[in-house]
Amino acid sequence: MDTKQRILEEALTLFSEKGYANVYVGDIAARVGIKAPSLYKHYKSKQAIFNAILAKMDERFMDQAKALNINGANPIPDAEIYKHMSEEKLLELGKSLFLYYLHDDYTQKIRKMLTIEQFKDKRLSDVYMEMYVDEPLRYQSALLGLVTAGGMLTTDNVDIMTLHFYSPIYMLLTMCDRDPSREPEALKMLEAHIKQFDKLYGRKDK
């Protein structure tokens, strides 16, 4: 078992629940199944553990950005799909986006940790915004742009349409992060939101 890796995982879990300052190195060690001083065989300090988590996050984020081809000339790999976007498909898209963000273990923990630690370090709030505001808006804008081009949605301002699509998702997400018991309620609202969105922006003659 890779202790060095385990330490990062358990530390991230704890940091995301209680924040850096409220987690003691002994807590991390206990969850890994060792004693606090043994941590220092793997990392120079508590801060170094935190830094390693961020480094790994950066790495993953870069990979993901590359995988999504966001910057490349070819924005969406399977563009054709989005030209024939039905209400059901839109619904599925929104729900899977929401549920992925909400339930993916790593993503959720990172998001919570960034939320807690963001005001300590501008770099963290920048990462948060890129991950949960700017990048989703950019990506979905490209996507909804295709749908619009395909004629399934109509607007003269794709960016605002994207804002209308995504911001409820974002708000419901922050709601469920704070209170997971409200997930069913959030899902109901999400569905109603997307149906309404489709009605508002969908072609009248659809």
Binding stretches for a copy of itself (CB under 8 A): 16-19, 21-22, 112, 115-120, 122, 125-126, 128-129, 133, 155, 157, 159-161, 163-164, 166-168, 170-171, 174-175, 178-179, 189, 192-193, 196-197, 200-201
- DSSP structure class, residue 70: S
* Binding partner selected for residue 34 from DNA, a copy of itself, none, CB under the kind-specific 5 to 8 Å limit: DNA
> What number of H helices and E strands is found in the chain?
11, 0
Packed helices 105-117 and 87-103: angle between N→C axes, nearest 10 degrees: 70
Cα gap 175→82, rounded to integer Å: 29
- Closest approach, Cβ 21 to a copy of itself, in A, equals 3
Would you state the structure tokens that stand for residue 202, as one six-digit string? 């969908």
User: Residue from 5, 44, 182, 192 that binds DNA (CB under 7 A)?
Assistant: 44
* CB contact at 8 A, 198 and 164: no
- Nearer CB in complex with DNA: 26/72: 26
* Binding partner selected for residue 54 from DNA, a copy of itself, none, CB under the kind-specific 5 to 8 Å limit: none
